[in-house]
Chains A and B, each alone.
Chain A
Amino acid sequence: MNDKHPSNQPERPSTQIRWRHRLWIALSMLLLVSGWVQAAEESTTLNSITPIGVVQVAGEPLIAKITPDIADGDTAEPIAAPRPSRSDYPNIGVSSRAIVWILAQLHLFFAALVLAVPLFVLMIELLGVYTGDERYDNMAYEFMKISLTGFSITAIFGGSLALALFVLYPDFMGYMMHVFGAQVLVYAIFFFLESFFLYTYYYGWNAFRYGNLKWVHLSLGLMLNASGLTIMVLANSWATFMMAPSGVNEVGAVVGNIWEIMKGPLWNPINLHRFIANIAFGGAVVGAYAAFKFLSTNDPVRRAHYDWMGYTSNFIAILAFLPLPFAGYWLMAEIYAYSQQMGITAMGGILAWLFIVQAVLIGTILLAGNFYLWAGMSRTDGSDRYKGLIKYIAVVLVVCFLIWVTPHTLILSASEISLLGGSHHHILGPLGIMPAKNVAVNLMLVATFLSFQLYRRSDKVATVSWAPMGNALMVAIYVVAIVNIIFLGVYYGYFTNTVYKVGSSVVQVASTLVVIIAGIILDTLMFRNAKTLPSHWGRIPDRAQYALFALPIAFTWLMGLMGYVRSSVKTHWHVYTVMKDNSPDNFIPTIAYAGNMITIVTVLFLLCVLFMFWVANLSSTRQAKPAAGGAV
């Protein structure tokens, strides 16, 4: 992750220890991945698209209607979902939806943060063990210290949310408890387990620091992450059940077991999307902490430390952010596959405008992330070789950003339509549809990876004999991939039928991934035993730190926005097609109202984060002892 910190190189661990690292990593990966793989294997497409009623897939035989699993002689009737009337919803004088909205979103923000931080903390700690460099260990500990208060805040908002839901939506919560039953208790058990592993992991950091005890500590961290991830996927199943119910019949009566209820068609896409997004979000938030600490000190040693910490945070945020659009694409594809109506509500109806706002926010994130990398190049003397390329990358980013934010359908008056010559602008109109936006997004990601690659190369000189060939191949991959992405978008997007238009977007994604994977592999091989040029941590303009502040603000707003879209696609249903929402708030609010709500939640979260940072600082502050006889 970081090979530029100016210091003496630590001793390499012995072969025996390295094998122990590998064995530990292999076992850890096996533990974390096995559950998910099993879920993915069992969750076939056919099962996923038969949540309720009788369904027939084109070209496939009729799928048998799901029937209740009732033992012989058992005449118990499955209980249908309740149908509450308006009067069944308690009226407390303010919008129940607004209360739940704020509490749920704040809970999710903090949950995302406290799930993500231990993930990359464990990776950094492991890196410290592998390299034998204690600074990694210290940084990982500091990341944990920052986020520790966040665990309590998450629990407070989670408890408040549960309370608000039971009070304000009793029938709905009664139905959810009936459907999920004992699974909710499993959630509670994992919550206790997570707390146990959190406190032993954090408070045992210095007690289990060296030798075999370090492996005990790493295992505690692994169990902390396993507990956190299990909590996340359990909670995700509630949200995805509301969007795409499975394991129940057309009236909401439970006809499947808990596993069939959980493994709905949207469960794994949401699991993956949230997992990646949480890491990006967590990286961005702790990056802001590092920026704040960097700006608030003049001590060169501390500035170097927090510069390094900020760089690491930005690295985590941007690296996790790069594959995020593809996970989002999978989620939207599954939403369309489950219900075209739901997909169209999201991307073709009132919510479509929010995707333009999303483009603005993602553009902000990419511009801020790139700017930070460009500014960070000033740390190394070798970066002069690449600085000339920055202006071209900036042009690509800005042009693509403008294409991405170009709307398709404008809300116009008659006179405006007359002036425009139609409902769509004759030049900009074609830029408003998905093929143009797919080109723009993929080129922005390729450009961001190029910035990242140039930054990584800026303090190195390759010494392998085939370096010119390697560079030529990298340039060729970039050029051909960019041409391919544009060709696929323009040709299939505008000159063939819709099926090819949609299919070509997958090839665009593949092209972008090829650039990223090829870049990582080529650079790893080319810069093995490379000559390292001097770099100076702390030598970065102060304005670069403001990019680190921009990232968490944009990420938070974006999560609030897209979380609202995800929840709103259910329209007037508590549980889509199964349990209607008859509360006074059973409508999609105006964009302005939603925007205000998301802004309020974002500001509240940022205030809570400031409190969290302040508390983290407080623990390392010691009041000077008053002089004897002096005023206290």
Chain B
Amino acid sequence: MIAEIGLAALWLAAALAALQLFAGALALKQGEGAEGNEDGHFAQLVRPAAITQALLAALAFVMLLWCFAITDLSVKLVVTNSHSMKPMLYKLTGTWGNHEGSMLLWVAVMALSGGLIAWLERRLPVRTMLATLATQGFVALGFYAFLILSSNPFERLPVPAPEGQGLNPLLQDIGLALHPPTLYIGYVGLSVAFSFALGALLTRQVTPEFARVMRPWVLGAWVFLTLGITAGSYWAYYELGWGGYWFWDPVENASLMPWLAATALLHSTSVLAARDALRTWTIMLGVVAFSMSMLGTFLVRSGVLTSVHAFAVDPERGSFILVLLALYIGGALTIFALRAHSISEGKRFAVSSRESALVFNNVMLSAILGVVLLGTLYPLLTEAFDVRVSVGPPYFNPVSAIFAVPMFLVMAVGPLLRWREDKPARVQIQLIVVSSAILGVLALVAVLGDYSLLATIGLALAVGLAIAAFLPLRGRRLTRVPLATWGMVLAHFGVAISLFGMASESAFTKERLAAMVAGESVSVADWQITLDGVDPIAGPNWTAMEARISASRGSAEPVAVTPQARTFWAPFQATSESALLTRWDGQLYAVLGDSAGVDAEGMQRWQVRVWWKPFVTFIWYGGLLISLGGALAIIGRLSADLKRRKAARRGAERRNEARALAAEMKEELV
């Protein structure tokens, strides 16, 4: 019954999305809303349709959660992805740990954002709003069709199964459980930005006001994408047991590309909001950002990553997303091509100005996006011609660095410049401070050690950027600095911190691999690692060998760490649980390997691999700082906007009162 309610809610939501699309389109066609009210026959339907659709989609998702919570073994999706013995938390998170469930989560979040806009957003002209919601309905409709026609999450089995087939144990982890929804919220935020961009384009209202309305959504999407990427990277780092934090895996790239586009969009939206410049560029980026999140979904969900051939074997879902992709992106680009010329030129700016720095970095971000996109798609392309290539860090690192290094340099200077036009001489002291910091660190690192070029440059840039991040605050009273500016400072500082972590990890990591008998010690960097013993242990759905290792640094008390080699039995799978020991200046990372036979005296040996990774945690601290900066910017912008509108309203009231008063006085005089 529960599954049927869910499916019915899904169908109804799809119907309402269609209503939202057609009512919006007809209202626009009939010229309703031109007087600034929504009383037209069709116009008045749009907002209620969006809100109801949101409630229905949320209901459908809750019904699926319920099926998973009670492990309803007559629902196919539950059988293939859950197991009655699984802990409750992972039963629930299992809802979106699979294709169908995660797509349902996607549309539910999308419908909820649409509902939220329909309910609260009153700043835009009525016609722009109608066009935006119609676009939103159009996008949603495609995803509903995809769910209902090719990946119905509520499909029943003819005969209920006796037991579920379990969830991949690699996915039974709280970090990973929260990771996909976080990314999805980011993707969906970009779809909202896309709807706004198309709405503005269709009604020729590409104005600073539009940018201000769109900005919180872009910022929000960006914050969630940042969090999602950070969490995913940390998960890969500790769960996969390879000690790496980024593998340039296509699935990772699929989340990085929307982030790059969102970063560019975010900054160009700021230019549009503050200066009424970069109108067409902002719209274009809105289209690109959403295209990248669609492409990400396609890459992850179509099976095309395993192999083009695997995709060809079961092409239904992949083709469906590909058609949606072509429809939305092709459609958006066509409208863009038809309408772009009608958007008049924005305000001009000089070569040395903040706009100019932002434009430069926008272009650099787009170039990096292009580099990542080509690198991700290239193997798929060649495989279609039966040539297998694999594109890895030797491609991505240097080629993206070519564009990232100038971008970081400009990023240090840009926030110091004034809008419109500025003389570089005005900020020469700051420029000297930052460039001498960069050159100093560069010289120091190059003299003191023999590290890779990229790591050396990264360390120098990180120090320069960290200083530069705070320079915009110079000479200002800190209590008067707007929240949004603090957000920028924090986010830019976060980039510096993250960059420092990456460079330091790549330059200073020490590694030790040993076959040890119980009681034996090895040293790595300034750590002393002793293997006390290895014991078998059992968990709720796994058994494991667990090493007891004591790690001590200098003369400090030894600390116990317990890496495990786990074997899950539903489904059968071996994983290694690394053990981490976090200090302020880095992380000790220990992995237990196989038994390594016996030594000369017949003692059992075990493989142990230990890394000391200085400042590696800064990579994720940086990610958190960036997200925090974004969150502050949202709060700052929204509250400033509310204040401004309150002031405007009060001003209008006062003017009216004054006018009334003047009229009264006039009457009295007469």
The reply to whether chain A is a binding partner of chain B is no
